[in-house]
Structure 1
Amino acid sequence: MTAITLVRGDITRQSVDAIVNAANSSLLGGGGVDGAIHRNGGPEILAACRRLRASHYGKGLPTGKAVATVAGRLDARHVIHTVGPVWSATEDRSDLLTSCYRESLRSAAELGARTVAFPAISTGVYRWPLDDGARIAVRAVREYAAPEQFSEVRFVLFDETAYAAFAGALADG
């Protein structure tokens, strides 16, 4: 069984095979997790993202998709960029959020990554309700993280509120 662990802290300080970035569609950096990964990972990540924009993703990375780059100065081999959906009170976008986790795990598996660190995708500036985002994240990882591919999937939560939401989602089974 794949171990699902929770850590309160900074995702850029994790020592794993792949760190997942809650990116924006431009892939060129931004705020929150995205900005921290680009700042702490260094110019190699931005250069790799620019190459992706110049080739396969000229219009940007679509919501729910994932693509990998080098990890630069991070203590990881890869950064997997995924674009989460903006929460909507009038439209159910939970399939897109689930797709972020599924596609990131698919990319990690293709890279041979055995350990993966995720942030709480879409729960910051994209306003996804934290409890629902945690429930979707945990369910997606349980469903798509095959034990023969992954030894650990780690959720790295920035504060105690996010940690508590993910702990509750894990306990709810």
Structure 2
Amino acid sequence: MELELVEGDITTQEVDAIVNAANSSLLGGGGVDGAIHRAGGPEILAACRALRATTLPNGLPTGDAIATPAGRLNARYVIHTVGPVWDPADDRSALLAAAYRNSLRVAASLDVDSIAFPAISAGVYGWPLADAATIAVRTVRAEAPSFPVRFVVFNRPAAEAFRIALAS
């Protein structure tokens, strides 16, 4: 299994699938979600609206994942997943792990050759970076996908957290 770490912009990655840290509405938002929708163009939003009008009228549940075409991104698919909001009084680690696990399973069903993940829940959802990185790496290793996995993080502190998680 090949794991890679990149500090940069997930929307520029040349992979088969880019994972979107989406909100449950699937209709765009801030952070990674907004960047993916902006860079991918209106095709992604149209596909998400179609999902909301048919199979996901109440939105995508936390921990689940679903794919759409990638629009203008350098990828074939965007795999949308909803990570949990950090709550120190409620252990939601299983939901964060499920977001990674279910994204990998969707990717495998699409027969992708590579995938790029952001640090799910570690932005506006407030998950502590070190813990988010540990859960991400542990979950991906446990799933042992047959294709390369790239973690694409947005800044140096996130990169350091993932470096430590990958080394352990």
Q: TM-score if structure 1 supplies the norm length?
A: 0.96
Identity of aligned residues (%): 67
* Unmatched tracts of structure 1, length 5 or more: none
Question: Are 2:52 and 1:46 equivalent residues in the alignment?
Answer: no
Question: Are 2:164 and 1:157 equivalent residues in the alignment?
Answer: no
Question: Are 2:79 and 1:80 equivalent residues in the alignment?
Answer: yes
Matches within 5 A, 1:19-30: 19-30=18-29
2: distance between equivalents of 1:9 and 1:145? 24
2: distance between equivalents of 1:98 and 1:146? 15
* Unmatched tracts of structure 2, length 5 or more: none
C-alpha distance after superposition, 1:61-120 (max 9, x if no partner): 000000000000000000000000000111110000000000000000000112000000
Question: Are 2:92 and 1:93 equivalent residues in the alignment?
Answer: yes
2: distance between equivalents of 1:146 and 1:134? 18
Contact 2:104/2:145 (<8 A) preserved? no
Question: Are 2:114 and 1:118 equivalent residues in the alignment?
Answer: no
Q: TM-score if structure 2 supplies the norm length?
A: 0.99
Instruction: Describe the SS at the equivalent of 1:84.
Output: coil
The residue type paired with residue 143 of structure 1 is A
Q: List structure 1 segments (4+ residues) > 3 angstroms apart after TM superposition.
A: none
Instruction: Describe the SS at the equivalent of 1:132.
Output: helix
